[in-house]
Every structure is written in C-alpha cells, then in structure tokens.
Amino acid sequence: MENTQKRVTFGGKISAVLVAAGSAVGLGNIWRFPYVAGENGGGAFLIIYILCILIMGLPLMIAEFSIGSASRHNAVGAFRTLGHRRWGGIGYIGILASVLILGFYLVVAGWTAEYTIHSLTDDLVRQSDPTFHQRSFEAFIAHPWKPIFYSTLFAVATHIIIVLGVKQGIERASKVMMPLLFIFLIILAIHSMLMPGGMEGIRFFLTPDFSKVTPSSVLVALGQAFFSLSIGLGTMITYGSYFKPKTRVQDTAIEVSAIDTMVAMLAGLMVFPAVFSAGIEPGAGPSLVFITLPSIFSSMPLSQLWSSLFFLLLVIAALTSTISLHEAITAYMHEEWKLTRRSAACITTVLTALLGALASLSLGILDHWRIAGLNIFDALDYVTANILLPIGAMLTCLFAGWCFDKQTFASQLYPSCQPKPFFGLIRFMLRFCCPIIILLIFLHNLGLL
C-alpha cells in the first residue's frame, strides 16, 4: 500500500466534480444524445433516460468512485486490492473497453476538430444546401488520410495533457475547459430557442409521446446512460483514486450525474429548435450534428460565429473525455507494469491512434473488412456498448454489493459524518436490482431473451 501515501490527489471538492464531469460530458451528450432521443420519441425517451440515470447510473457511479477512493489504485489494482486476485478481471474488461472506445471516439473527435477549422476558415458555412453538407461529410469521413490526420492530432493533444500529469494536466485542463463548455452551451441553446419555429422543437423534446417508445428504447436509454456517465469500465474508479480522502463520494456522484444530465438536456434544447426551425427530420441519426446543423448555421446571420462556437464546444467536450479514457489505461500500465508514466502514455497513444486510424479507414477503403457483418468502426461501438460495458457494469455492481467491505464502502460516501443517508438503499440496488436489470437487458440485446 505504499501507493496510498504517494498518490497525487485532485485539489479539492470542486476540482473532483469538474474533472469527473469532464469525463462524463462528451460527444455522448452533445452528438449522440440528441439523435438517439430524436429517434426514440423525444420527451418520452428523456423521462426513461432520467430514470435510468437515477436507478442504475447513480448507484454505480457511487460504487466506482468508492472503489477508487478506498483502494487508491488503477481499475485493475483497485479490484485486486479490495477483493481477491480474481476480481482484477473486472478491471481488465474495463481497460480493454477503454482502448476500444478510445479507438472510435478519437475518430469522431477528429471530425469535430476538422469541422471547427472549416468553420473558422469559413468554407463550411457558405453553403446552405443540406445535400452539399451530406456529400462533403460522407466524402470527408471516407477520405483515406484526412480524418486520420485529425484523429491523430486529437490523440497527440490528449497525450500532452496526460504527460503533464494528474494535477498540472488533467485537473488544470478540466478547470479551464468545463466552464468554457457551459458558457458556449448556454449561449448556443438560447440562440437556438429564439430562432423562428424553435418552440416546436422544444415541444418535441419536452412533451412525452409514449406511443413511440418500444422495449428497445429502454435498452438504448440504459446504454446511453452508462456511456454518458462514463461508467462500467473503470474510468470513474481511476478518477476516484485521485480524490482527496475526505471527498464526499455520494455528493460528488450526485453532482456529476446532475451536470451530465443537464448538459444532455441543454444539448437537446440547442439541437431540436434549430432542427425544427429548418424543417428537418429530428431522427436524422448520427449525421444530425455534422450534416443538419452546418446547413442550418449557414442560413443564419453570423453563421461563421455560431458554427465555430458549436464545433469548438464539441472539441472541448470530446477532449475532456478522451483524457479520462487515456488516463485509465495509462494509470494501469504505469502501476501494474511498472512503466514510467511517460512510457505508459506513449504506448497508450500509439496503440489507440493506430486503432483510430483503422476505424477511420473502415469507413472508406477498408469498408470490406467486416467483423460479424460490421465494419471496424461499428464493431468497436457495438462490442463496447452492447457487450463490454454491460458486463463490466454488472460485475462492478456485484463486487460493490457482495464483496466490497461494508464499512469501508460506507466510509467513502461521507468520510467524516454519521449517519450515512441512503447507504442501505444504494447497497441494496447494487446487490439485487442493478445486476438483474443489466443481465435482462444484456440478454435481450444479444437476442437471447
């Protein structure tokens, strides 16, 4: 346990919240959430999503933070220190999931970087014809080297922040970028809501229409909740291990989940009014942000400003998330393989940038490389969201509920105060409700139920 004394910690309560919120708030909130909600009935989906966050997401985030802060280890070391050697396996699933997610996340993050540069240099915003934007997006993502250049750029930016360290790199970056993100988001949401016809978009987003909800919407909502909160793969365990010992884990988890949900809602309030104002289909899918929004921006006054702000917002959101994925892998290699932090970071960067390049090529010239019918990009998304994250989440619940010492767990929630409100309920959820629900959903997802 010599690790315990030497381990760096985040500055304090606000830093812990900002850094963890930086991981949670990402492309999942601003790029993925609006189109998934659009495809699944808008307001009704929002209600199911919030229930998933409260019932499943929050207890699991509390568990992950507690496992990290009690063990002061990376995701693999944490399970091993608090449980038995064999539990370390959960950590390995998480590290694998982090590598695979970072592989395709870097690609989409690279797209946001290229769109920011295009917005700033004005050639994105001149055209208002949606088919122009569709064609240029499709040509760009299938291009043999341009998207790889941008995803590698993103990997290098992430690398630099990681090498600067937990305090000087991750904490400092989050403290600057998160407030900036909130300011941009609020400006853009207000602007969008004031657009002519925008109210219709707000109505779509906030009025529940349960006729559009299917059992699969519930699965989608849960998967979205886990991905958006960055749970089920040890990222929050790694960050929890950098909390100061007196950090109140329960409050931190509530605040991070609230911020994450608020940002997803603001993203909805930003995207849907704009989409409705331009008379575009809200269920446009993953291209919503890259095709629909640029064509809307181009028809507005100050188009260059709005478009640049929007894509810069996506870059910031993506960067604070790639940092957290990278840190989970780097901390594991540094502590378990006894590499220097710099070497661990280098291996992580090279490995994930190569995977990113492969994922990017699979949208163009390597489209014929298929795994179970999916190209590499889609396969990475599918395997992580539908297999690794649910398994990791379920095992983490079981570990926290059945194996994690009750007193140690309880003492993380509110280190210096008694009694511990809701501890019994949280532990009950982790022991029974969460694993059973995840198992049912997992089997259903695989078509076994």
List interacting residues with ligand PHE (CB under 6 A): 23-24, 26-29, 101, 227-228, 230, 233, 235, 321, 324-325
Q: Looking at beta carbons only, is 29 or 119 nearer to ligand PHE?
A: 29
Q: Looking at beta carbons only, is 99 or 269 nearer to ligand PHE?
A: 99
Measured from the Cβ of residue 382, the count of other Cβ atoms closer than 10 Å reads 14
Q: How far is the CB of 99 from ligand PHE (least distance, A)?
A: 11
The Cα 223–Cα 32 span in angstroms is: 11
- Please report how the helices 130-142 and 88-120 are oriented relative to each other, as an axis angle in degrees rounded to 10: 130
DSSP letter at 383?
I
Tokens for 89, please give them.
């396996």
Q: Looking at beta carbons only, is 23 or 247 nearer to ligand PHE?
A: 23
Q: How far is the CB of 181 from ligand PHE (least distance, A)?
A: 12
Q: How far is the CB of 316 from ligand PHE (least distance, A)?
A: 12
DSSP letter at 107?
H
The Cα 268–Cα 363 span in angstroms is: 27
Element (H, E) at 336: helix 303-336
The Cα 59–Cα 358 span in angstroms is: 36
Q: Looking at beta carbons only, is 69 or 277 nearer to ligand PHE?
A: 69
Cβ-based neighbours of 181, under 8 Å, separated by 6 or more: 25, 263, 313, 316, 317, 320
Distances (CA, A) of 131 to 123, 275, 303, 310: 15, 15, 18, 20
Q: Is 10 helix (H, G, I), strand (E, B) or coil?
A: coil
Q: How far is the CB of 153 from ligand PHE (least distance, A)?
A: 19
The Cα 401–Cα 399 span in angstroms is: 6
Q: How far is the CB of 199 from ligand PHE (least distance, A)?
A: 28
Q: Looking at beta carbons only, is 278 or 393 nearer to ligand PHE?
A: 393
Q: How far is the CB of 111 from ligand PHE (least distance, A)?
A: 14
Q: Looking at beta carbons only, is 159 or 427 nearer to ligand PHE?
A: 159
Q: How far is the CB of 248 from ligand PHE (least distance, A)?
A: 22
Q: Looking at beta carbons only, is 24 or 434 nearer to ligand PHE?
A: 24
Q: Is 123 helix (H, G, I), strand (E, B) or coil?
A: coil
